[in-house]
Chain A
Amino acid sequence: GDSVTQTEGQVTVSESKSLIINCTYSTTSIAYPNLFWYVRYPGEGLQLLLKVITAGQKGSSRGFEATYNKETTSFHLQKASVQESDSAVYYCALGEGNMGYKLTFGTGTSLLVDP
């Protein structure tokens, strides 16, 4: 089967500091998985933050970056300098290109940025 692992359930970072949220994946059914980061701000639905469909490529959005590493099966989310408005829950996910609706999610990492 497919799985996504986010090891940190909750992360607290001071404003202007750097951030890494870890994500590793495993798949036995998808030859070329697409990888995603979704973000859920308080009171809102999940929204796509970034996605990468090709191994070795990097995606970026709103100052966040993630590189699709097929060798280490990882897709860690990074930001050089977080802001208080980045406080949210971040979900890593993988999916297939053509059946894109059936995403496999991680459990989510709740980020709290201290002002």
Chain B
Amino acid sequence: DPKIIQKPKYLVAVTGSEKILICEQYLGHNAMYWYRQSAKKPLEFMFSYSYQKLMDNQTASSRFQPQSSKKNHLDLQITALKPDDSATYFCASSQTTSQNTLYFGAGTRLSVL
């Protein structure tokens, strides 16, 4: 059974709209992250959370807002969507932020038309 659940698997949105990507982990980890992979590009780190607090933000745009309502949740809200936001978004976790073995979800593939 997957230990990191991302919903939905696929998402189609129109330019200018807002979407929330859901991530729940059942590994008992204290650190959670978001990565993104656009077409033909490497996965790139976006955010890190530790004990539900933002630790690191590598995303220039404020349109991307992580939200942690529970210890094992880290959702990603994206506002004013643009076609360039089309990518697969991966949630990941680790026991702590000093651990470099990450566990990833299957991803949410977002297409912005």
Measured in the bound complex, the distance between the Cα atoms of B43 and A106 in whole Å is 7
B30 to chain A, nearest CB (A): 11
Chain A's closest residue to B56 (CB) is A102
7 further interface pairs, Cβ-Cβ under 8 Å (given A101-B56, A101-B99): A34-B100, A44-B106, A51-B101, A91-B43, A100-B98, A101-B33, A105-B42
B22 interface hit (Cβ, 8 Å): no
Q: Which residues of B contact A (CB under 8 A)?
A: 2, 4, 6, 31, 33, 35, 37, 40-45, 48, 56, 58, 90, 92, 94, 97-107
Measured in the bound complex, the distance between the Cα atoms of B90 and A48 in whole Å is 14
A83 interface hit (Cβ, 8 Å): no
Measured in the bound complex, the distance between the Cα atoms of B104 and A4 in whole Å is 19
Chain B's closest residue to A97 (CB) is B100
Q: Which residues of A contact B (CB under 8 A)?
A: 4, 34, 36, 38, 40, 43-48, 51, 91, 95-108
Measured in the bound complex, the distance between the Cα atoms of B92 and A91 in whole Å is 15
Q: How many A-B residue pairs have CB under 8 A?
A: 75
Measured in the bound complex, the distance between the Cα atoms of B102 and A101 in whole Å is 7
Chain A's closest residue to B107 (CB) is A45
Chain B's closest residue to A53 (CB) is B100
Chain B's closest residue to A104 (CB) is B42
B58 to chain A, nearest CB (A): 8
Q: Which residues of B contact A91 (CB under 8 A)?
A: 43
Chain A's closest residue to B44 (CB) is A105
Tell me if A107 and B41 are in contact (CB < 8 A): yes
Tell me if A102 and B90 are in contact (CB < 8 A): no
The verdict on A102 contacting B45 (CB below 8 Å), with A43-B106, A45-B90, A45-B107 known, is: yes
Tell me if B94 and A101 are in contact (CB < 8 A): yes
Measured in the bound complex, the distance between the Cα atoms of B98 and A96 in whole Å is 9
- Of A46, A98, A108, most buried by chain B (CB within 10 Å of CB) is A46
